[in-house]
Structure 1
Amino acid sequence: MLIWIIFAVMTGAAVLSVLWPLGRRQPPIFADTAGAKSLYRSQVAEIDRDLGRRLIGSAEAEAAKAEAARRLLRAAAVETAPAGDSEPSLRRRRAASAIALSCVPLLALLVYGAYGSPSVPDQPLAARLKASPAGQDFAIALARIESHLAANPTDGKGWSVLAPVYLRQGRFEDAAKAFASAIRHDGATAERHAGQGEALILAAGGVVTSGARESLAEAVKLDPANARARFFLAIGQEQDGNIPGAVASLKALLAEAPADAPWTGAVKARLESLQGPSDPAAAAAIANLPAQDQAAAVRGMVDSLAARLGEGGGTLAEWSRLIRSQSVLGEKPAALKSLATARERLAADADALAALGTLAGELGLQEAAR
């Protein structure tokens, strides 16, 4: 209520300061004729003296007196301002002032009542942060959790709640730190280590770093069936150039997946981009070779695929597999050339072009092209 009293006083003072002059009678302003008359008499006396000394003629004396008289008339015969307000004019101005002083605040209150929310109680942030999270909007709930953790940094369960939120928001570094805090203060779990590994990978632009590998390995150690950690470890094998190992890991992951697992689509797409729909036998054969022979076999397979696609045609999966393999092998110029050719061949397929753009960003080929 106090705030409304303050607003009312301020509004009244502002309106009154503007309208107060309109309610006052304007005093008449007349010319000061006393000085003009004295000057006229002095001029006439001087003209008479000059006439007596015969310094001027009678005609000149009469003309000088006439000019002095005209000056006196201009100064004294008319008022320089109106004689003041008439009573009806003054009453009209005072009435207008009173109407404005009362109507302006009243109109403001009516507009606020129609379009504002006067019945809604105050909602200070501190009180909202202390309220139950149920029914709060997402931003308030997030601020509530962050405020709580700022005051209680050792609350591991709170960090475990906040970490996935940061991950979904794209705040990958914050997510990795939050997962680390949850592990440090509330113990290690497979999901926390897997989440930390994923956050580190996304923060590094899709590269499976050594820190991410350690987190993922810990997750698999705690839960050998953890699909999240196994998937990203397979991507790490792929980035190391161990395509057969990545294929084998992804196949094993699919073989053990529950029938209704929502992540199987992503695993199948990754597997198809690695081996292509027509190369499963070749991949299996390479996987059975000795370690020292696998690199040469992989390079031969990549060169063979590049030669075949260079002759024409090619599906999105085949081009993706070629570009990824060349990038992993360190052949950036060849990967860029294959990317450009794939875009030309698949120009009519908007989805394929979008997938190629995503792949280029993941492999850092766009930056290399600049």
Structure 2
Amino acid sequence: MVFWIVASLIVLAIAGLLAIALLKGRSDEEPPAAYDLRVYRDQLKEIERDVARGVVAEEDADRVRAEISRRILAADAQAQDGGQSGGQPRSGGVIMAVVMAVVLLGGAMGTYWKLGAPGYRDMPLDVRIQDARKLHDTRPGQAEIESRLPDTAPNTPEGDLANLVTKLRDTVANAPEDLKGHQLLARTEMNLGNDKQAYEAQQGVIRLKGDDVLPEDYLMLAELMISVAQGYVSPEAENALSAAMELQPRHPVARYYWGEMLIQSGRPDLAFRLWEKLYYESAPEAPWMMPIRARIEDLAWMAGEKFRLPEENSATPGPSQADMQAAGDMSAEDRQEMIRGMVSNLSERLATEGGTPAEWARLIGAYGVLEETDRAKAIWAEAQSVFAEAPEALAIVEQGARQAGIIE
């Protein structure tokens, strides 16, 4: 209510200033009729001078004098009616002032009613954070979301494979402690597109593994739940992501989905900071990079941050997956020579100019492909020195070293 009162007073004040200008007219200036009278009198004097010089005949001068006299009478009458307002009717000014006040007040309020948020209370930062926390804590669970979706029968293959899948389902149902059976069933159902049945089997896998559960086990469960919920990160999926990140805090896929959960919970600020780090730490061809690129600028705007995506052609230099595939049609010697040349260029640039953690990881992985283990170990040792004070960056390089097989 306070907003409406303040807004109305502001609009009325503006309308009042404009109304004063309209009603005041031009009293501080010469009325237009007075100016016309002075011009017409000067014209009469000019006619008299022209007659005296013989330039204008007397009969023509009489006709001109009559016309100018008629105009003088009309201008004088206008001056008498208009007074100091210059001929502007006061009633017209009053009407215009009222119309303008109505248009300004009605237009402003109507526009806000249509585009604004009438009745919305003030939203300080602490209130918004509290609302986001409440939204997060009270959001629906996995079962509730699934109940809102249309029921679909699980897919079953045809032919002999159908018998095998049916047998596998019966076997797991009759042997709830069979870990391998649950693992095989989870993978089979996932490959068939039965994500709900797959995550139910994956829950059994996690239960049976106990302390031996891996981050990938939790992540698979979370992804299947999110897929069933059509992109919604339920509290159950969040718990699985949290468990995965407890075992591997820098896991990129878990961090991507955690950002999705933050967005859905009304915390674009936290989601942006998380995705921004993930964006700069990831290789351009990483599968989570495309959805991040599509949304991170809008996310930055909602978070009140300034962020602009680099050009796509500014991708990390060096041997990429596409480069390796392009070498497939070459002879073994040519292919090896091409790869060595690209690796050498990348190695030289990192040694002289430095580079991103993703580039260091790529270089170590490339030496692993070339089976130059000693060189890969040397680069890994150098990277440990370079990123000694940046554990997040070092974790990215460590992934490349693991892929190269030089560390366990």
TM-score normalised by L of structure 2 = 0.32
TM-score normalised by L of structure 1 = 0.35
Bigger radius of gyration: 1
